[in-house]
A and B are shown apart, each in its own frame.
Chain A
Amino acid sequence: MVEEEGFRRYVAHIILWIGIAIVAFPVYIAIVASTQDNALIANGQMSLLPGGHFFETYYQTIFVGTSGSTREPVGNMMLNSLVTALLIAVGKIAISIISAYAIVYFRFPFRMPIFWLIFITLMLPVEVRIYPTYKIVADLHMLDSYAGLSLPLIASATATLLFRQFFMTVPDELLEASRIDGAGPLRFFWDTLLPLSRTNMAALFVILFILGWNQYLWPLLITTRDDMQTIQIGIRKMITTTDALTEWPIVMATAVLAMLPPVFVVVAMQKLFVRGLVETEK
């Protein structure tokens, strides 16, 4: 082992704690602000220690919303975000795993063209085609609906590529064995391949859930009704009104609530998260 002097180790600890402080500071400020009185914050006299308005602010945020700009309770926005994120994550995994299965385990006309059609979508993030996509979703009467929020984000090549890669590493003997047992293609998929893919699916789910929860530009365009807003859109509307009227404690409480689910997922499922992140980027 390369020897490390005690002094260098000491320095490493200090640098890491400085890094953690820099990373955590903005969030600490948000948490503190969400427990304080709006008048103090608006005067620029915010204390750096938590105040006494925790329950009051969070109760109002979750069940009532701001009194000015958005009257929508943030609890409802969180529900919209949750449904959207789950639809995106589950939908993506479901349609990608079956198409990857078809591409790896079957030989059929147009197999490669279909694979390429899916593959190329890697290069078309929603940001570069927002208005035409908006128009299609509007024509399909999917504005202000969960389908409109999730469907255009469901099709992605990354998940298909990931499953394809994984299926290629599954030994052929497994297929031979289940064939001898008289299993057909669907049987083999359900009984053998799906259980083997469990970890991959879970890792992918973690990443896709975070990405889905954090969607911004697309929901911004296609939600017009307040009760269909996701939490990310809600925050923006809260700070739209002139500065003096912004209810900062509620804005900050909303920011904290918006961070909570995805951050929890990262911390609680760290192993799956790291795995998913590294694998989807390949």
Chain B
Amino acid sequence: MQKQAIFQSKLLPYALVAPQLAIVLIFFYWPALQAVIQSFLLQDAFGLSTSFVWFDNYLELIKERAYFEAILRTFFFSFAIAVSSLSFALLLAVMADKPLRGSMLYRTLLIWPYAVAPPVVGVLWIFMLHPSLGVLSRYVRALGIDWNPLLDGDQAAALIILAAAWKQISYNFLFFLAGLQSIPRSVLEAAAIDGARPMRRFWTVTFPLLSPTIFFLLVVNIVYAFFDTFGIIDTMTRGGPGKSTETLVYKVYSDGLLGGNLGSSAAQSVILMIMVIVLTGIQFRYVERKVTY
């Protein structure tokens, strides 16, 4: 945990941690504490008086059907985004891991979408699949689908999942490629000498050795789907039509800003914080496992 060789100084270390500590206290702990306090308060419609209401905001939330649906929707989105993006990225990474001519070029051409901001992703995809002017919409209609994601909730959800998974391909690809490259060649050669065909080698040797990477990426992708999809949703559908693309984070935003219901929004924030803490905890357990692995 600490060096053997250290400096002796009374004030200097405090001066060195002071800037970060100040920012952390002002912009992290104070607002987090405020969120917890606010979640126990109820404000009247004009913001003139507040009263302490214990867990009423939480109980209201649990009873609220829209909140329950937002939870289910967020988990469904996370699952769909993670599975589709991970499987496609794994396929690409396995291909790029082969000794091919131009493999560096392939890598470059596949990783740059990491840098595209979520709101821009939203704009790009809604433009391509816009019901009246999208260049791809006519092909979707040709398949016999009555395509209008601005009116049809399921189609809007599909569009969000597609766009969010698209953005995440490059990230997953990069980590899969790193994972694949860390698998010792000798293990694969041994399997080849034993007569295992490439497909069999993949499923019995490569895939199990890749499982820590897969698990890590699963958690990262879920966190991504929880938080980073906000920009995609906001530029594409604004949570609509109806509430069919409203995730938990989007609901915190719209309930607090548009609805002005700060108590409920704060309670939702606290629940989200607990979810993040659980997810981060899982991630750290995994890191421990990797060390002993």
Contact = CB atoms under 8 A, between A and B. Distances in A.
A145 interface: no
A152 B27 contact: yes
A168 B3 CA distance: 7
B230 interface: yes
A83 interface: no
A4 B169 contact: no
Contacts of B198: 8
Contacts, number: 291
Contact of A2 (B2, B17, B124, B192): B192
Interface stretch (B28-36, B73-81, B151-159): B28-36
B273 interface: yes
Given A102-B13, A127-B272, A130-B253, A107 B6 contact: yes
A220 B250 CA distance: 13
A95 interface: yes
B51 interface: no
B95 A132 contact: no
Contact of A98 (B16, B135, B252): B16
B7 A27 contact: no
Interface in A1-52: 1-4, 8-9, 11-13, 15-16, 19-20, 22-27, 29-30, 33, 41-44, 46, 48
Contacts of B170: 23
Main secondary structure of the interface of B (DSSP, over half): helix
A29 to B, nearest CB: 6
A282 interface: yes
B35 A239 contact: no
Interface string B70-113: 00000000000000000010011001101110000011111111
Among B38, B110, B265, chain A packs the most CB atoms within 10 A around the CB of B110
Contact of B100 (A9, A41, A111): A9
A193 to B, nearest CB: 12
Counting contact residues on chain A (CB < 8 A from B), the size range is 35 or more
A99 B34 contact: no
B269 to A, nearest CB: 5
Interface string B257-292: 100001001100100110011001000000100000
A44 B115 contact: no
Contact of B3 (A2, A3, A172): A172
Interface in A131-186: 131-133, 135-136, 151-152, 154-155, 160, 167-168, 172, 175-176, 184-186
A96 B3 CA distance: 18
Given A172-B3, A236-B235, A4 B99 contact: yes
B120 interface: yes
Counting contact residues on chain B (CB < 8 A from A), the size range is 35 or more
Among B112, B114, B117, chain A packs the most CB atoms within 10 A around the CB of B117
B269 A129 contact: yes
Contacts of B10: 108
A60 interface: no
Nearest to A42: B133
Given A99-B20, A129-B269, A235 B123 contact: yes
Contact of B123 (A19, A118, A135, A251): A251
Given A274-B111, A277-B174, 7 more contacts: A26-B121, A95-B19, A99-B17, A101-B16, A121-B28, A129-B34, A277-B114
Interface of A: 1-4, 8-9, 11-13, 15-16, 19-20, 22-27, 29-30, 33, 41-44, 46, 48, 94-96, 98-99, 101-108, 111, 114, 117-118, 121-125, 127-133, 135-136, 151-152, 154-155, 160, 167-168, 172, 175-176, 184-186, 188, 210, 213-214, 216-217, 220-221, 232, 235-236, 239, 243, 248, 251-252, 255, 258-259, 262-263, 265-267, 270, 273-274, 277-278, 281-282
Interface of B: 2-7, 9-10, 12-14, 16-17, 19-21, 23-35, 38, 88, 91-92, 95-96, 98-100, 106-121, 123-128, 132-135, 137-138, 166, 169-171, 174-175, 178, 185, 188-189, 192, 198, 201, 216, 220, 227, 230-231, 234-235, 249, 252-253, 256-257, 262, 265-266, 269, 272-273, 276-277, 280, 287
26 contacts: A12-B95, A13-B100, A15-B95, A16-B95, A16-B100, A19-B88, A20-B106, A23-B169, A27-B124, A99-B17, A106-B12, A106-B13, A118-B21, A128-B272, A128-B273, A129-B273, A130-B252, A131-B35, A132-B31, A136-B34, A236-B119, A239-B123, A248-B127, A266-B114, A270-B108, A270-B111
